[in-house]
């Protein structure tokens, strides 16, 4: 029973991460339509980070080295983009 509950918890984490990760494109599209040009809003990077963390957590639970590697590198890039944005805005 505990194993089933744990599996369900990580499925929820994985699907939540995937939902956040996918929603970043919708946010970017809406933002760009409002600006009438292709723009990446800061929310895109936060959704990337939180979605990536959810997917990474799920991948670690599933012991999937392909997804783990991809998400680790992605998280570094997303965080670095936020650092660059905040440095520029100082």
Can you give the pLDDT at residue 4? Answer: 82
What is the rounded average pLDDT for all residues in the chain? 93
Which SS3 state, helix, strand or coil, does residue 64 take?
Answer: coil
3-state SS class at 72: helix
Cα gap 28→81, rounded to integer Å: 15
The pLDDT confidence band at residue 3, using thresholds 50, 70 and 90, is: confident
pLDDT, tens digit, 9 for 90 and up, residues 10-58: 999 999 999 999 999 999 999 999 999 999 999 999 999 999 999 999 9
d(CA 37, CA 39): 6
List, for residues 45-60, the tens digit of each pLDDT value.
999 999 999 999 999 9
Of residues 5 and 79, more confidence is placed in 79
Helix (H) or strand (E) holding 38: none
Q: Domain containing 18: what range? A: 2-88
8 A C-beta contact, residue 75 and residue 57: no
Q: How many domains does the chain contain in total?
A: 1
pTM greater than 0.95 (yes/no): no
């Amino acid at each position: 029973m505990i194993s089933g509950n744990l599996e369900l918890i990580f499925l929820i984490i994985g699907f939540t991460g995937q939902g956040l990760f996918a929603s970043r494109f919708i946010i970017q599209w809406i933002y760009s339509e409002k600006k009438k040009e292709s723009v990446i809003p800061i929310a895109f990077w936060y959704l990337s980070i939180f979605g990536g963390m959810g997917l990474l957590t799920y991948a670690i639970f599933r012991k999937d080295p392909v997804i783990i590697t991809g998400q680790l590198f992605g998280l570094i890039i997303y965080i670095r983009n936020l650092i660059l944005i905040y440095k520029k805005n100082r």
